[in-house]
């Protein structure tokens, strides 16, 4: 009886491991634990929660501070080859928008990242990105409209920007007014939990 029990545990654990999906997070400083220890960032906290609940999802955080859509596009082929993810969450464009990069170029970069992910049999997921209105309402509207447009064109999930509420609370922001502080990280993790849970339950 003991041998049967051990065998069942082994089969369950190896099956669970085999069924674990990988999500490649391609983001910027908002997801890279900017100016804090990695373990304090929302991505680490979320992975900790996923591991605790034995959810079959592993997050590969390839986010870099200062990353642009061009930088993400340049890095993506190697990341896809090395990690062979099941999902690619694209949280990029904020730095492009803050620097006033041309909208068509941002669109081309995002489109190529989507197509590279699909060609690698990974499901791309876009995150809506919002920027301060420093460059005027016309640019801001065009920039922010890119994400729902690309989501519709390519029939992709569009996840909401996790900074929308956080950015309105000075107590949750660093002095630069752009980056979430340490206190904001567990709140971002809570926001993102339901979206990641959706991936787990959808298989």
Write the pLDDT tens digit of every residue in 129-167: 999 998 999 999 999 999 999 999 999 999 999 999 999
3-state DSSP helix/strand/coil % of the chain, to nearest 5:
60, 15, 30
pLDDT tens-digit map of 72-102: 999 999 999 999 999 999 999 999 999 999 9
Whether 179 is catalytic: yes
Selecting among 171, 176, 194, 202, the annotated active-site residue is 176
Asked whether 62 and 25 are in contact (CB, 8 A), the reply is: yes
CATH fold of the domain at 21-202 = Rossmann fold (3.40.50)
* SS3 assignment, position 103: helix
149 in active site: no
Annotated active-site residue in 29, 31, 117, 151:
29
- Kindly report the length of the chain: 203
How far apart CA 192 and CA 199 sit, in angstroms, is 11
Residue bearing the bigger pLDDT, 96 or 11: 96
173 closest CA partner among 161, 162, 183: 183
Burial 127-155 (b: 16+ CB within 10 A, else e): bbbbbeeeeeeebbebbbebbeebbeeee
pLDDT score for 203:
59
Residue 5 has pLDDT above 50, yes or no: no
Phi, psi of 146 (to 5 degrees): -55, -40
Separation of CA 40 from chain center: 16
Q: Which listed residue (28, 63, 96, 179) is catalytic?
A: 179
């Amino acid at each position: 009886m003991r041998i049967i029990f051990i065998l069942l545990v082994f089969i369950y654990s190896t099956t669970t491991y085999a069924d674990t999906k990988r999500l490649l997070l391609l983001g910027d400083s908002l997801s890279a634990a900017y100016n804090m220890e990695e373990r304090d960032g929302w991505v680490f906290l979320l992975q900790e929660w996923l591991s605790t609940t034995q959810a079959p999802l592993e997050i590969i955080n390839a986010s870099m501070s200062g990353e642009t859509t061009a930088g993400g596009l340049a890095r993506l082929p190697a990341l896809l080859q090395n990690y062979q993810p099941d999902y690619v969450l694209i949280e990029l464009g904020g730095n492009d928008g803050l620097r006033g990069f041309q909208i068509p170029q941002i669109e081309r970069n995002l489109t190529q990242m989507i197509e590279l992910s699909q060609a690698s049999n990974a499901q791309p997921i876009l995150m809506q990105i919002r920027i301060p209105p420093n460059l005027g309402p016309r640019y801001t509207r065009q920039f922010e409209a890119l994400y729902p447009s690309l989501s519709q064109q390519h029939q992709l999930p569009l996840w909401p920007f996790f900074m929308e509420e956080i950015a309105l609370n000075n107590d949750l922001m660093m002095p630069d007014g752009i980056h979430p502080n340490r206190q904001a990280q567990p709140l971002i993790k809570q926001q993102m939990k339901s979206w990641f849970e959706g991936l787990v339950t959808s298989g």
